[in-house]
């Protein structure tokens, strides 16, 4: 499935509910799902749970993009379609960030 197809699927499943909820409340659900993913990664959860959490984060991100009129596939290709957006290399050859 392509990103655009997934975005269309999520729109069909949840679009009406998401628009009624609004972007601010939808963002709060997204943030909660990111927190659940963070906890699953930190705990070293099994791959089945990690898959579920990654899918949830992707779905909430996708629905917010739809609510704001952003085509995720086009946006991803625009930013990353030619490699790293900073050095243009694949793989990236930028110096590692300190942190």
- Into how many domains does the chain fold? 1
DSSP notation for the chain:
--HHHHHHHHHHHHHHHHHHH-HHHHHHHHHHHHHHHHHHHHHT--HHHHHHHHHHHHHHHHHHHHHTT--HHHHHHHHHTTS-TTT--SS--PPPPP-
Is residue 91 a part of any domain in this protein?
A: no
CATH code where residue 62 lies = 1.10.287.1080
Instruction: State pLDDT tens for residues 25-54.
Output: 999 999 999 999 999 999 999 999 999 999
99 pLDDT band, cuts 50/70/90, is low
The domain in which residue 39 lies consists of: 3-80
84 pLDDT band, cuts 50/70/90, is very high
Is residue 11 a part of any domain in this protein?
A: yes
In angstroms, the CA 72 to CA 4 distance is 7
In angstroms, the CA 72 to CA 83 distance is 17
pLDDT at 63 over 70: yes
For residue 85, the model assigns a pLDDT of 96
The token pair at 97 is 């960030």
């Amino acid at each position: 499935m392509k990103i655009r197809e997934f975005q269309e699927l999520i729109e069909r499943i949840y679009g009406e509910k998401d628009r009624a909820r609004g972007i601010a409340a939808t963002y709060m659900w997204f943030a909660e799902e990111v927190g659940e993913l963070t906890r699953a990664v930190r705990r070293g959860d099994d791959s089945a749970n990690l898959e579920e959490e990654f899918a949830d984060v992707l779905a909430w991100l996708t629905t917010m993009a739809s609510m704001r009129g952003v085509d995720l596939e086009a946006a991803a290709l625009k930013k990353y379609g030619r490699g790293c957006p900073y050095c243009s290399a694949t793989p990236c050859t930028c110096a590692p960030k300190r942190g």
